[in-house]
Amino acid sequence: MTEIIAAVLHRSGDNQRPYAEHAPLSLRKLRLEPPRFGELLVRIDAAGLCHSDLSVVNGDRPRPMPMAIGHEATGIVEALGDPDDPGFAVGDRVVLAFLPACGECLRCRSSEPYMCSTGAAANGRGELLAGGCRLHDGDAPVNHHLGVSAFATHAVVDRRSAVKVDADLPPEIAALFGCAVLTGVGAVMNSAAVRPGEGVIIYGLGGVGLAALLGARASGATPILAIDPVAKKRALAEELGAIGAAPDEAEAAIARLFPRGADVVVEAAGKAAVLNAAYRSARRGGRVVTVGLPHPDEKLELPALSLVADGKTLMGSYMGSSSPARDIPRYVAMWKAGLLPVERLLGSIHRLDEINSLLDQLEDGNAVRMIMKPWG
Ligand SMILES: [Zn+2]
Ligand SMILES: [Zn+2]
């Protein structure tokens, strides 16, 4: 058993703001079991705060409680459940992916690891892929968040949740590849399969929306219109090669740049009303990809005839339709070549004990990706 510090959430939803004051997350000393066969003990050295963490806190995505949350992270392998593991060794840097792919279910065998049914079921139960929890608070089990539980000094993960990357990758950048980059770049390159010269609109410039922008640039998309209410995020989008517009300027900007609608529209705001606007701003035959997570009660209303008469495609993109083992090394190589400036997504770096106030900043919508370093 390893004694670790982890941020534990005791209640999903019904958490009062400001979080800094009511502290829905508490840093707890937990006991972490050693890794079983096929599992890894990882010393977490950077973890990003993502909107899907907030969704567990505010109840938009209810999960079994208590739970050690956090799912976008990187770290160093400290121990192996299988000393002869064919893919990992002590000292390897790994990026953790938030859906382990079992490799055996029909979806995995159909080259859709992002739809792995075994992995999704384990995540839904708050367990690792092989079943059960490795985390304990006294005698009580603590659930894992998406097989990762990253806001912690250490994690035990299934080896299929980990992707080995170059050891010299800075941790605060490496972490971003696990969720924001995988989801945002994947939405553009895998789900929408943007082609050079296509025009793209991105709604919502959180970590995933900005990563989608990087993916659109790297794919040769032009023009790229980036819509967000926060001026400093629009300014960043413009530095990254997009044209920024506030929501009240969007209609005029779309009419000017895309008089017939855009080839591809990415919705990364997580609101049904925004998805509706995204659908309307696609051209006939255009593709609309949504990566946002709206509140489960939100309903989408669309002119039903338009899907056929306008030949539009509306698709949800989970984890950027990615194969983490294929795509993370590919995106890291693009970053190294200067084609995917992921470091621009990095906002600020914090201690683990700042987590509740970081949740406030995230919900207020002002922050770019915030990273926590459990070891300072
Ligand atoms: Zn995430
Ligand atoms: Zn599977």
Q: Where along the chain do its domains lie?
A: 2-178+341-373, 182-319
Which ligand sits closest to the CA of 121?
A: 2
CA of 319 to the centre of ligand 1 (A): 9
The neighbour count for residue 326, using CB atoms within 10 Å, is: 13
What pLDDT score was predicted for residue 376?
Answer: 86
What's the CA dihedral at 16, 61, 209, 73 to 10 degrees? 90
CA of 52 to the centre of ligand 1 (A): 5
Architecture of domain 2-178+341-373: Alpha-Beta Complex (3.90)
CATH topology identical between 2-178+341-373 and 182-319: no
Calpha distance 265→368 (Å, rounded): 21
CA of 49 to the centre of ligand 2 (A): 26
Tokens 């190294």 locate to 336
State the helix-helix crossing angle for 231-239 and 207-218, rounded to 10 degrees.
Answer: 20
Instruction: Return per-residue pLDDT of the chain as tens, 376 residues.
Output: 899 999 999 999 888 999 999 999 999 999 999 999 999 999 999 999 999 999 999 998 889 999 999 999 999 999 999 999 999 999 999 999 999 999 999 999 999 999 999 999 999 999 999 999 999 999 999 999 999 999 999 999 999 999 999 999 999 999 999 999 999 999 999 999 999 999 999 999 999 999 999 999 999 999 999 999 999 999 999 999 999 999 999 999 999 999 999 999 999 999 999 999 999 999 999 999 999 989 889 999 999 999 999 999 999 999 999 999 999 999 999 999 999 999 999 999 999 999 999 999 999 988 889 999 999 8
Residue 20, classified by CB atoms within 10 Å of its CB into exposed (0-12), middle (13-18) or buried (19+), is middle
Which ligand sits closest to the CA of 49?
A: 1
CA of 119 to the centre of ligand 2 (A): 6
Predicted TM-score (pTM) of this structure: 0.97
**Please, what CATH class does the domain formed by 182-319 belong to?**
alpha beta
Share of the chain residues as helix, strand and coil, in percent rounded to the nearest 5: 35, 25, 40
CA of 48 to the centre of ligand 1 (A): 8
Which ligand sits closest to the CA of 73?
A: 1
CA of 172 to the centre of ligand 2 (A): 29
* Paired sense of beta strands 140-144 and 135-137, if any: antiparallel
CA of 177 to the centre of ligand 1 (A): 10
CA of 223 to the centre of ligand 2 (A): 37
